[in-house]
DNA sequence: GACATCCCTGGAACGCCGTTCCAGTCTGGT
DNA sequence: ACCAGACTGGAACGGCGTTCCAGGGATGTC
């Protein structure tokens, strides 16, 4: 009688939204964005494609849920007692690192605007901008600038990852940048004088440092325009 | 004899790479990114899908060529005798306006990194940054910051355009933003205090002004860090 | 114990996509 | 008159997201 005290379930583990999203993340990380298909996902979960639709509405919702899981993880860190500017840098770096670990997240940001993952980042950036002292009427503008920059970098990271993962799995980031840098050096000297000139800087740059430098440019611009007094504290 | 002096061609107009790219741009503008298929394109050109492949390698090259055509058009303008900072703003605005007229361009930027269209923008930005007086070693960083911000805005514009064109063709940008703004106002007051607070600013903001404000933040940041003398050189 | 019910499964099938294949046509050169 | 090669366009292939639906397993009711 009663229920047979937690039978070993119908299979090892029943299908669930969490399990599906988890498998989707693994698939995205290992096989890239093109590797996530309902058929591959079903095979990995030892079921058929149709079963997945009982738990997830469609591919859009699946990508959304996967992105949200990654973003939530990236935003949990943070000491929170740092100075606003430092906290903003840490926050941005957290998103950057998450995108570098899961490049497909960068592409997803550009696909679904104002969904839950982006809202989380927006909110966190907003609190820092408010802490910095930006007047209320200018807060949306300041946060938008930061967010759009972060999204731009994320999107490019995703694109680069695709370029040297799906096309040539054997080449790494260094070879990829080296190849692009070499092609820049052979551009027309008149039409692409500047680009030729910075070909070496492309090859040798550090993504993280460049990203942070951009964040600092924007934060400085915000401080000059809206800061309490730039150098002297109030 | 001789050749019958320019016969009226085999059809009204023979297939050509230019005609295909032109038709692709029309299709992208009117039907959105999802509307561009080789079958629809072939039908519009009164031919079969196979014929297109004689002139264009595949969909990637087609999108690249279409993007390039739009970007080239956007970069031809410009007085060139303006002050560097003003010229940079005009250049960025040119790209912004092109993306607003052809939202799919923004998505394409995030899909193919370091292809011809992006290189053109990169080169033009670089020349302005050089004219501003940024030292050579920091030019790549400065241009990257500007470019990534522009790409971020472009990608979001593309995503927003998709959201209120393919999902609800009857609603315009205002209704779309209004709906998002309304949903923000109903978020959890604790978890989304900031977002709730700027819901109105989202509804009422001007995309162009916000974009320019971001460009100005970055340009100010660059000037403070690398400007000719701002406060005092090293 | 028999039975109806509902949640959940998973394989088959639909329509559309990018791409390839190829028999055929048209054109200019000899 | 003939040929070689540029070019066409319809058919077909494999794969995708999604839908459909016959069924299986646990549960509640008599």
Condensed to tens digits (0 to 9), the pLDDT of residues B37-95 reads 999 999 999 999 999 999 999 999 999 999 999 999 999 876 667 899 999 999 999 99
Residues of B in contact with A231 (CB under 8 A): none
pLDDT at A17 over 80: yes
pLDDT of amino acid B234? 44
Average pLDDT over residues B153-162: 94
- Of B222, B204, B203, B205, nearest to B89 by C-alpha is B222
And the tokens for B29?
């503008």
- Of A2, A221, A219, nearest to A91 by C-alpha is A219
Q: Note whether B175 contacts A: Cβ–Cβ < 8 A.
A: no
Q: How confident is the model at residue A102 (pLDDT cuts 50, 70, 90)?
A: very high
For a pLDDT cut of 90, what percent of chain A falls above it? Answer: 79
pLDDT, chain B, mean:
90
H or E element at residue A123? helix A116-132
Which phi and psi (to 5°) does residue A164 adopt?
-110, 25
Give the B window 72-111 contacts with A, CB below 8 Å: 107, 109-111
What tens digit of pLDDT does each residue of A125-156 get?
999 999 999 999 999 999 999 999 999 999 99
pLDDT at B3 over 50: no
For a pLDDT cut of 90, what percent of chain B falls above it? Answer: 79
- Give B78's Cβ-side CA count (13 Å radius): 24
- Of B159, B155, B194, nearest to B173 by C-alpha is B159
**Rounded to a whole number, what is the distance in Å from the CA of B218 to chain A's nearest CA?**
5
pLDDT, chain A, mean:
90
Cβ contacts, strand C, under 7 angstroms: A 10-11, 14-15, 42, 46-51, 54-55; B 3, 7, 10, 36-40, 49-50, 53, 58-60
Using the CA of A54, which nucleotide's C1' is the nearest one?
Answer: C8
pLDDT at B169 over 90: no
Give the B window 14-53 contacts with A, CB below 8 Å: none
B32 vs A1, residue with greater confidence: B32
Are the C-beta atoms of A20 and A55 separated by less than 8 Å? Answer: yes
User: Mind listing the domains of chain B with CATH numbers?
Assistant: 1-56 (1.10.10.60), 80-226 (1.10.357.10)
Are the C-beta atoms of A56 and A64 separated by less than 8 Å? Answer: no
Q: How confident is the model at residue A229 (pLDDT cuts 50, 70, 90)?
A: low
Q: Which of residues 48-77 of B touch strand D (CB under 7 A)?
A: 48-51, 54-55
Q: Which of residues 15-44 of B touch strand D (CB under 7 A)?
A: 15
And the tokens for B30?
């009117």
pLDDT of amino acid A15? 85
Give the B window 113-172 contacts with A, CB below 8 Å: 113-114, 119, 122-123, 126-127, 130, 136-137, 139-145, 147-153, 155-156, 158-160, 163
């Amino acid at each position: 009688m009663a229920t047979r005290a937690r039978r070993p379930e119908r299979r090892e583990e029943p299908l669930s939204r969490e399990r599906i999203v988890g498998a989707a993340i693994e698939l995205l990380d290992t096989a890239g964005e093109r590797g996530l298909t309902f058929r591959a996902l079903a095979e990995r979960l030892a079921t058929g494609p149709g079963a997945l639709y009982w738990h997830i509405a469609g591919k859009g919702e699946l990508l959304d849920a996967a992105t949200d899981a990654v973003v939530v993880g990236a935003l949990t860190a943070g000491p929170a007692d740092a100075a606003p500017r430092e906290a903003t840098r840490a926050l941005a770096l957290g998103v950057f690192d998450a995108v570098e670990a899961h490049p497909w997240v960068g592409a997803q940001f550009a696909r679904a605007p104002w969904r839950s993952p982006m809202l989380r980042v927006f909110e966190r950036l907003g609190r820092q901008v408010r802490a910095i002292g930006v007047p209320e009427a200018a807060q949306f503008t300041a946060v938008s600038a930061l967010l759009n920059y972060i999204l731009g970098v994320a999107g490019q990271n995703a694109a680069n990852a695709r370029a040297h993962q799906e096309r040539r799995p054997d080449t790494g980031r260094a070879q990829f940048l080296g190849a692009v840098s070499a092609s820049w050096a052979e551009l027309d000297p008149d039409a692409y004088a500047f680009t030729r000139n910075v070909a070496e800087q492309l090859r040798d740059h550090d993504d993280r440092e460049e990203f942070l430098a951009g964040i600092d440019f924007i934060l400085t611009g915000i401080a000059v325009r809206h800061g309490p007094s730039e150098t002297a504290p109030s």
